[in-house]
Amino acid sequence: MKTVDMLQSHPKGKSANLEAIAACVAACLECADACTICADACLAEEKIAMLRRCIRTDLDCADICRTTATILARQGERNMEIVISQLHACAVACRICATECEQHAEMHRHCRICASACRTCEMVCHQTISMLQGGKTYEPDH
């Protein structure tokens, strides 16, 4: 199954943006998967005491990416403010998780792969925000 095929089967799935939406859903799901496994791998490392922050940030990032993917995959009656503010929170979590994992990337291969998935997801979230806004910059409501 391809996410884009599934999105196109929606009664209103004729948007020009479907490929980009599908790519962002995929990036969020990959990042959630990477962060879940990185947290679990850190928990099994001998020097676990040094990895507390990494585990915590992985768990937060996984939860946020999973929710963002779910919301973004829904096309009907979409509210742009909800989608964009959640994408923004996701980009923030990915940036901070990437920065944390990069500090352990030489030591642990799981942190290296996870940092890369986070950087990709951060970038794709920003691109999706721009696309949904027609190029405008995100301005929160307070």
Q: Report in angstroms the alpha-carbon separations of 130 from 20, 73, 99.
A: 11, 17, 23
* Six token digits for residue 17: 């943006």
In degrees to the nearest 10, what's the CA dihedral of 128, 66, 98, 113? -110
Pick the closer one to a copy of itself by CB: 1 or 16: 1
Q: What is the DSSP letter of 45?
A: S
Pick the closer one to a copy of itself by CB: 11 or 16: 11
* Six token digits for residue 50: 């040094």
**Orientation angle between helical segments 52-73 and 109-132, nearest 10 degrees:** 40
Pick the closer one to a copy of itself by CB: 57 or 128: 57
Pick the closer one to a copy of itself by CB: 17 or 82: 82
Q: Smallest distance, Å, CB 25 to a copy of itself?
A: 7
Q: Smallest distance, Å, CB 132 to a copy of itself?
A: 14
Q: Smallest distance, Å, CB 99 to a copy of itself?
A: 10
Q: Smallest distance, Å, CB 119 to a copy of itself?
A: 11
